[in-house]
Chain A
Amino acid sequence: MTLTLGNIAKTFPCGTRALRPTDLEIEQGEILSLLGPSGCGKSTLLRIIAGLETPDPGASIVFDGEDVTHQSVDRRKIGMVFQSYALFPNMSVRGNIGYGLKMQKLPRAEIAARVEEVIELCRLEPYADRAITALSGGQRQRVALARAMAPRPRVLLLDEPLSALDAALRGQLRDELALLLREFGITAIFVTHDQDEAMAIADRVAVMSQGEVAQIGTPEALYRNPATGFVARFVGDAMPLEGHIERETLHLQGGMLGLPRASDGQQVLVRAEDIRIDPQGPIAARVETVTFLGTHYRIALSGAMTGPLFMLHAGFSAPKPGDKVRISIPPEALLVLPLDTAA
Chain B
Amino acid sequence: MSQRHFIFLCLLPLVIFTLAFLAIPLARLILASGESEAGWAIYLQILQTPRYLSTLVQTVVVSIAVTVAALAISTTAGLYLVRNRFVGRNTLLSILTLPLAFPGVVVGFMIILLGGRQGLVNQLLPGYWVFAYSIFGLFLGYLYFSIPRVLLTVMAAAEKIDPALEEAARTLGAPPWRIVTDVLLPALAPALIAAGAIAFATAMGAFGTAFTLATDIDVLPMVIYTEFTLSANIAMASALSVVLGVVTWAMLLIARSFSGGAVAAGG
Residues of A within 8 A of B (CB): 50-52, 72-80, 82-91, 99-100, 103-104, 147-148, 151
Contact = CB atoms under 8 A, between A and B. Distances in A.
A101 to B, nearest CB: 9
Nearest to B166: A86
A80 B178 contact: no
Per CB-CB distance, the 9 closest pairs between chain A and chain B, nearest first, are A90-B186, A100-B172, A86-B164, A103-B173, A86-B168, A82-B164, A80-B171, A73-B170, A74-B173
B165 A88 contact: yes
A104 B174 CA distance: 9
A82 B168 contact: yes
Nearest to B163: A86
B171 A148 contact: yes
Contacts of A86: 162, 164-165, 167-168
A84 B160 CA distance: 13
Given A84-B164, A86-B165, A73 B186 contact: no
Contacts of A85: 164
B164 A83 contact: yes
A313 B12 CA distance: 68
Given A89-B186, A90-B186, A90-B187, A103 B167 contact: no
Contacts, number: 68
A300 to B, nearest CB: 42
A104 B172 CA distance: 9
B47 to A, nearest CB: 39
Given A52-B167, A90-B186, A84 B162 contact: yes
Nearest to B167: A52
Contacts of A91: 182
A104 to B, nearest CB: 6
Q: Is the interface of B mostly helix, strand, loop or mixed?
A: helix
A86 B189 CA distance: 17
Contact of B171 (A50, A83, A89): A50
A88 B182 contact: yes
Interface of B: 162, 164-165, 167-175, 178, 182-183, 186-187, 189
A89 B187 contact: yes
A21 B165 CA distance: 29
B170 to A, nearest CB: 5
A78 B189 CA distance: 29
B175 A99 contact: no
B203 to A, nearest CB: 29
A290 B19 CA distance: 68
Contacts of B168: 80, 82, 86-88, 147
A51 B168 CA distance: 12
Given A88-B186, A89-B186, A103-B178, A80 B173 contact: no
A76 B173 CA distance: 8
A104 B173 contact: yes
Most buried by A among B172, B187, B189: B172
A37 to B, nearest CB: 21
B165 A78 contact: no
A91 B185 CA distance: 13
A148 B169 CA distance: 10
A85 B168 CA distance: 9
Contacts of A103: 172-175, 178
B174 A74 contact: yes
